[in-house]
Chain A
Amino acid sequence: MAFILPFLALWTLFRVGPVLYGILISLSHWDPFGSTTFVGAENYLRLLRDPRFWEALGNTFEFASLAVPLIVSLGLVFALLVYGAQRMRWVRVVEAALFFPYLLTVSIVGLVWRWLFDPDFGIVRITAKQMGVHLPVFLNEPRWAIPAIAFATTWWLVGYRMVLFRAALEDIPVELYEAAQIDGARWYTLIFAITLPLLRPAILFAVVLTTISGFTAFGQVLIMTQGGPGRASEVLALYMYRIGFDYLEMGQAAAVGVVLFVIMLVLTLLSFRWLGYGTEL
């Protein structure tokens, strides 16, 4: 116990403390330039009455339900491909190229994809046009804005998941595959009976990490669409930012933060349940 005390003290001070303070703010009318008054659940009730909150909640789930499976599954596919081709000459270059976007900051990612999707001068639309394909104006169409941001986010984050799975693949004993192959197992049996079950801890970690990223997406949305067109891509984190810093309603913004926290907590616990309580991170 004595060994973990310093960490526990710092963790409580810098992690638990701010969370509890945030909950306290969500129960108050917190004026950064004036006094604070306790208002109970009023901020939460106001949220429930605000149609914009419900729109943002729906957009957040839409974004997360697109981005999270895409990032995790593509990360896994890339890891399997890279692992399978590890003796090939250029595989390291491919691996580095896939990982590279993760080194960029969110603002750069947002700007790059905003330019790529630009309706007048973006390379995506111009290339498609030259090929005779008429693409929608992705960031200005309510139907396409969130998928476009999810796609850009996948490009950004998939590399790290690939590295994560790649490292976990290295830990699987080769003998298991050899034994299975002697028994006549085909490639898909190897994947579904050996690889995926043994990757479960890595999958759980990737799912939890990506779920948190998905539900707290902010920077890329702010830069690529500012929540538009209309409010078609306004996610909860952006809504919270607007309420807190544009309108200075810190109590209500903190309430949004608490709602996000609860959503992520529930989803993390569900991930543990689906992937097994015994799984170690």
Chain B
Amino acid sequence: MEGWSVLDGKYGRREFLRLLGLATLAAAVEAGLPLKAFAQVRVLEFNTLFHSGDAQAMERIVKLFNEQHKNVQISLTQGQWAEYYAQLFASVAAGNPPHIGICHTSRILDVYRALTPLEESRAGNLLAIAGIRGENYVKSVWDAGVYRDRRYLVPLDTHMWGLWYNKDLFRQAGLDPEKPPETREEFERAADAIKAKTGKFAFHPAEDALPRKIRRAWEILFWGQGGELLTPDGKRAAFNDERGLQALDYLVSMIHKRGWNQPGTDGFKQFAAGQLGMLLAGNWYFPTAKASGVNFGFHYMPKFFQKPVTWGDSHNLVIPRQPARVPDEMLILAIKTIKWINEHSDMWGIYGGHIPAYLPAQRSKALTESDTWKIALRKFADMAKRGWLHYPLIHEKAPRIHAAIEPFIQEAYNGRLTPKEALSRAEAEVNRVLAS
């Protein structure tokens, strides 16, 4: 990779000493040394994978924390979802992890080795120290934070996909914007009407159409028929059957047969520009949809096949595995900060569009009386309560398995592989990954 360096400034003695002092302070912070000798402020590094509306929500929460705490400050770094785990692994392996991080529930099996077991840390039982108790959290999400009898995760939220729709385009198409589609027939009728009467794109099934999003769209259709990616023992691919094929056929037909959209387009952008009638996307889209000025509504995931189902997962707050030089005090500060964030996670719901996993925050007046709740979150919470939420594959090799499936699903979506061929090739690749 190419690069260059510019280091030709001229410094006097005073400037040099000032720079040296700053560099020493920065090195001490970097090394996690107690900074009492330098200053009273302790800095907690907090890395997340949030990158759109929810990133702004987390910024608000951290800003409030920093305003309320003079001696502890959070330094927040937010990044791209796709590269977050690579960065987390690399930082832990290099002995320079953040003090607080985020982990999806579905990733616990391949990430746990980079995390601190919260009840058995070298600083003691961190949950007990901070007073974090399971009964304050959504039970299913709390229970999912344990692997091999060790708790690594403190739940932050539940998130999932649903149907966002443009009310103005619904009206133009002669549809009732207060009665969005719930069944496959209603959905197809609505999409055909939008296409025929508005001249806009009728439907986008997969957010910004990244390969993992197209895979999720296909999974929703596949799970809706009772399918699962792997056999129950987790040793073979199980998706290349009639259900997998029907799901992929239907997904591909939306683009190539029915012409509701085109391959390669970004549903987020189309919707925000008022060019799209309906979009399958996650609850994190709320701040963007609101900011776009589009007259939008939100509804449950339509029932495409036998049972209603939606893709979902949970964000959890974690303490990445800390090197020995980081004092126990920082672990205790980190867990207390995690507790504080959860206690203020009604803001996570209001501004980030996620359903807080911390029950007092989920039931708070501020959240339940907010627009976010009334327009979208209430329905997301309903879907969770009704058991529609389906977690992605939880498996030690999940990232590799997903990476083995995604290119072929995407190529079918783009119309360059037949659904049958795509599934056969994905199956062969997944079995190869599982066997290796």
Residues of A within 8 A of B (CB): 32-34, 46, 102, 106, 118-121, 137, 139-142, 157, 160, 209, 213, 216, 218-219, 222, 226, 228-231, 241-242, 245-248
**B266 and A137 form a contact (CB under 8 A):** no
B121 within 8 A of A: no
**A121 and B411 form a contact (CB under 8 A):** no
**A229 and B410 form a contact (CB under 8 A):** yes
Q: Provided the pairs A33-B93, A33-B114 are in contact, do residues A218 and B264 lie with their beta carbons within 8 angstroms?
A: no
B360 within 8 A of A: no
**B86 and A246 form a contact (CB under 8 A):** yes
Q: Provided the pairs A242-B403, A246-B85 are in contact, do residues A213 and B92 lie with their beta carbons within 8 angstroms?
A: no
**B90 and A142 form a contact (CB under 8 A):** no
A200 to chain B, nearest CB (A): 22
B269 within 8 A of A: yes
B37 within 8 A of A: no
7 CB contacts below 8 A, A to B, read A119-B264, A120-B273, A209-B2, A213-B2, A216-B1, A228-B211, A229-B414
B18 to chain A, nearest CB (A): 28
Bound: A58/B421 CA distance, A = 22
Question: Which listed residue, A160, A226, A241, touches B211 by the CB 8 Å rule?
Answer: A226
B85 to chain A, nearest CB (A): 7
Q: Provided the pairs A119-B262, A226-B210 are in contact, do residues A247 and B1 lie with their beta carbons within 8 angstroms?
A: no
B 383-407 contacts with A by CB, 8 A: 397, 399-400, 403, 407
**A121 and B407 form a contact (CB under 8 A):** no
**A46 and B93 form a contact (CB under 8 A):** no
**A140 and B263 form a contact (CB under 8 A):** yes
Q: Which residues of B contact A248 (CB under 8 A)?
A: 89, 110
Question: Which listed residue, B85, B397, B416, touches A142 by the CB 8 Å rule?
Answer: B416
Bound: A160/B2 CA distance, A = 10
**A120 and B275 form a contact (CB under 8 A):** yes
**A246 and B410 form a contact (CB under 8 A):** no
Q: Give the interface SS of chain B, mostly helix, strand, loop or mixed.
A: helix
**B407 and A231 form a contact (CB under 8 A):** yes
**B85 and A121 form a contact (CB under 8 A):** no
**B399 and A120 form a contact (CB under 8 A):** no
**A229 and B210 form a contact (CB under 8 A):** no
B270 within 8 A of A: yes
A115 to chain B, nearest CB (A): 10
Sorted nearest first, the 8 A-B pairs with minimum C-beta distance are A140-B264, A245-B86, A32-B93, A230-B407, A137-B264, A230-B411, A33-B113, A231-B407
Residue of B nearest to A142 (CB): B416
Bound: A219/B82 CA distance, A = 14
Q: Which residues of B contact A209 (CB under 8 A)?
A: 2
**A230 and B89 form a contact (CB under 8 A):** no
**A33 and B269 form a contact (CB under 8 A):** no
B436 within 8 A of A: yes
Q: Which residues of B contact A102 (CB under 8 A)?
A: 2
B 321-370 contacts with A by CB, 8 A: 321
**A230 and B82 form a contact (CB under 8 A):** no
**A120 and B265 form a contact (CB under 8 A):** yes
B27 to chain A, nearest CB (A): 20
Q: Which residues of A contact B408 (CB under 8 A)?
A: 230
Bound: A75/B140 CA distance, A = 60
Bound: A218/B86 CA distance, A = 15
**A33 and B407 form a contact (CB under 8 A):** no
